[in-house]
Structure 1
Amino acid sequence: MTDYLHKFAALLVQLNDTERDEVLEFYREYILDAQLDTYEDCVAELGTPKQLARKVLADYSIRFNENLQDSDSSKPQKSKAGVRAIWLVVLALLSTPITIPALIVIMAILFAVAAVVFALGVALVCGLFGLTILGFGMLTAGIGVFGQSIWVACFYIGTGLAIIGGELLILPLVVWFISLIIQGVSKVVQRLYHRFVKRNRAERGGRHHEKNH
């Protein structure tokens, strides 16, 4: 039991001291109450230390992300929390002992989501890159013809500045769109998590609680 809790604690480094102590105390009391005397008994009841730790980290990350979305935190902070939640939930999903068909469904959905996000990201980056090149190209062209025709030069330079200025104006919209994508992906993986990762017996109230129901 001690060896199990020691390995479990070592995998909870992403939690702060208070959270880690609360989690360890909860599972220590459960293990004692359930009389799980050996390492093998703990694994049979709760999964390996890595599986349990990934589940705990995913649960904490989901709650933290949800609380952050309800607060007045900045978009970068919310996006960072969303990315962290996605990563930890995916790890928890992949370490969960589930059936092969369920695993295929999870991998197919994650692959589809990743493909869509990648396509949107590439399109966005290419579009912004293309506009930036066009804007600087117009500026360069305007400077090049300045000695030949001041009106043509003003047109090129003005157009180039307008393109670059337009990009700066829509930058907050791009940040908002990226944040929206991250939160959308986060919700998808969280639904997968709640669908396929069930609460263990300790979270459901322990053996004695189940027997009374």
Structure 2
Amino acid sequence: MKREEFLKQLEQLLDGISEEEKADALAFYRSYFEDAGEENEESVIAELESPEKVAQSIKKNLGMEKENGSYGMPADQNPEWNKNDDDMFVKSEEAPKEKKGGWSAAAIVLVVLTSPLWLTLLLVVASLLLAVVAILFGIAVAVVAVMASLVFAGFLLIGFGFSTLFTGGVAVGLGLTGAGLLVLGLGILAVLLVVWVSGVFLPWAVRGIIGLCKKPFEKKKESGVAA
């Protein structure tokens, strides 16, 4: 008899108990086999004797459930149960806690071992963010400088145009004045565009990016609630 066949028969024989107790028992014996290793599978089955024997022992010990907790140690490793050789396995709440503690320790070790990798990634991401901020700041400064230059040049040309009307000729004066008005208009349009971008487009874009970043987490949350 192989391990899976043994566990399958045991599951069928435990139909009379609750699903939670059945799952705990099967999980314990599966772990028992895994700890022993494939090379010791036959010796473990010989030690347990048969699925019927194990199922009978589990059902017999269910009366001690509240006192003992979960399926744990063999009788020869548990003095409280050495009084009766038929009771091979009893419950023990400490096994899950030890397993949980083991997982916590493994997680800490994993974090420490992988720290060079994720610290490097964090530095790269931070550097990229700083670069993006610097680029945006440079663009903003350049745009403000261009707007100021256009407005200043517009007023300057208009001033030269008016002065030329009385000193250098009407045609030249009108040309300079028209050019000044055109440049000034471009400067005003640039100002209005920047105001619209900063007041309307940027907030909309930021909200859109934040929404896109939140979507994966919202899907995970919905999946968790549904589960």
Fold-level match, TM-score > 0.5?
Answer: no
Higher relative contact order (CA 8 A, sep 6+): 1
Q: TM class by shorter-chain length?
A: 0.3 to 0.5
Q: TM-score, normalised by structure 1?
A: 0.38
Q: TM-score, normalised by structure 2?
A: 0.36
Instruction: Please state which structure has a larger fraction of its residues in helix.
Output: 2
Larger C-alpha radius of gyration, 1 or 2?
A: 2
